[in-house]
Chain A
Amino acid sequence: MNAADVRVRDFLADSLALWRVAGKVEAGDSPTVAVVRADAGTIVWIERPSGEGLPLRWLVRWRGAGEAPGAPREQHPRACASLVGMLNTVRGALGVDRGAAVRIAPAPADA
């Protein structure tokens, strides 16, 4: 069992709790790191893309509640360059609204 993948799944389980989404996070077959199953019916698959030098770290597929297998986003995953993007995509797939965030990057040291 890949320890890094376990950490990702634990983190996603905590994320569901944070977003107040009832559901569970399961392991998947490689390259799927985690499968999020919301009690409301949405399923999200999170993968690590294979291939050297790709400018992306995560692929997220999902099937909304009530959608048949092979839903558009299940066929065409969304690529994410970072964990933050992956979280945003999973949150969106689950229909979680956390309000408008104000993101501020660190200012230069001499600012």
Chain B
Amino acid sequence: MIPVSVITGFLGSGKTTLLGRLLRDPGMSRTAVIINEFGAIGLDHDLIEVSDESVVQLSNGCLCCNVRSDLVLTLGDLAARREAGTVPPFERVVVETTGLADPAPILHALMTDRNLCEIYALDGVVTTIDAVAGLSTLESHAESLRQAAVADRIVLTKTDMPGAQADAINEKLAVINPGAPVLPIVRGAIAPSALFDSGLYNAGARHPDVQTWLAHEAVAAAGGHARHHHKEDITSFCVIRNEPVRAVTLALLLSALAENCGVDLLRMKGIVRVAEEPDRPAVIHGVQHVYHTPVWLERWPSDDRRTRMVFIGCNIRESWVRGLLDLLDAEVAEETARQSIPRAACAQ
């Protein structure tokens, strides 16, 4: 699987500067870059930045003139060219969104397209926030809030500039998305390893960095209860369960979340102890109404074998999620018991 990382951030927040610096790092060799210039998913421009001679070279727009402005087609085309050897064998893709984009449609495309899912795996979302203007942007632009809310990692840019408000922004981000590490940088300087390779969807190849990805401790430490951002009423909370969850309950839970929360659920991620497979945790991941197929890890990433689910959204009550899980659990347990009675009777 080829990991795909999404870099998003509001206009002028430093996405391109960050990307430019990252691509000069040897660790980013063999990386294909897709720049989303117009529309939510439309990809209208050259695909690749060149970091060194060994990497993909498309400097004359040889792809941009052939691909259609669609992420799915672009990624599919890239994979086909990689297979055919007409582009160097890139090992990672980075998608840069527009400054006004809601990244959710891009994540949906990566999570739901059957052909893409056989080749690519979403690695994570990196969101840039400008330390100078970021505070007011978060206050006044819903797009910026959403970009921050879906982030797995947040890069705080321009921290060396006069007027930088890093502390105030950190405080606000601790409410919007307490689980995402905030990484302050100057002029785009940061190691790729700090941003990419959660390895979550490449289980087996590496030890997945579930702890960092989930970061449920940070969410729990943010108050243990839902925290509210006054403008968009974004809440984040963590649901922890000691008891294993039946596979049927998990399926019903994901269905109910997808069907009832809609666009209000900005991000959901979790690691679940499934009763039928207690030694292999299932990793679940949703963006709005779209849920990634659960991924089964080979083993638990730590001694903590509890089910942990992090929710970030608007207008979603923690009590609703807990109530849903409790009621589904009870319903499935009752149904399981009911169905086992005739078999027990037959055995006698």
Query: A57: which B residues are within 8 A, CB to CB?
Result: 331, 335
Interface size in chain A (residues, C-beta < 8 A): 30
Given contacts A11-B324, A84-B252, contact A98 B259 (CB under 8 A): yes
Q: State A91–B258 Cα separation when bound (angstroms).
A: 13
Which chain A residue has the least Cβ–Cβ distance from B292? A104
Interface residues of B in 90-121 (CB under 8 A from A): 108, 112
**Nearest CB of chain B from residue A18's CB, rounded to whole Å:** 6
Beyond A84-B252, A99-B263, list 19 extra A-B contacts (CB 8 Å). A14-B317, A17-B315, A18-B320, A20-B315, A57-B335, A84-B256, A98-B261, A99-B288, A102-B112, A102-B258, A102-B291, A104-B292, A104-B293, A106-B274, A106-B282, A107-B293, A109-B276, A109-B277, A109-B280
Q: Scoring A residues 78 to 108 as 1 if CB is less than 8 Å from chain B, else 0, what string do you get?
A: 0000111001100100000011111111110
Query: B86: which A residues are within 8 A, CB to CB?
Result: none
Q: Does A10 contact B (CB under 8 A)?
A: yes
Query: A109: which B residues are within 8 A, CB to CB?
Result: 276-277, 280, 296
Report whether A8 and B259 are in contact in the complex, using a CB–CB cutoff of 8 Å. Answer: no
Q: State A87–B331 Cα separation when bound (angstroms).
A: 14
Tell me the A residues contacting B by CB distance below 8 Å.
Answer: 4, 7-8, 10-11, 14-15, 17-20, 57, 82-84, 87-88, 91, 98-107, 109, 111
Interface residues of B in 30-61 (CB under 8 A from A): none
Q: State A60–B16 Cα separation when bound (angstroms).
A: 54
Q: Scoring B residues 107 to 151 as 1 if CB is less than 8 Å from chain A, else 0, what string do you get?
A: 010001000000000000000000000000000000000000000
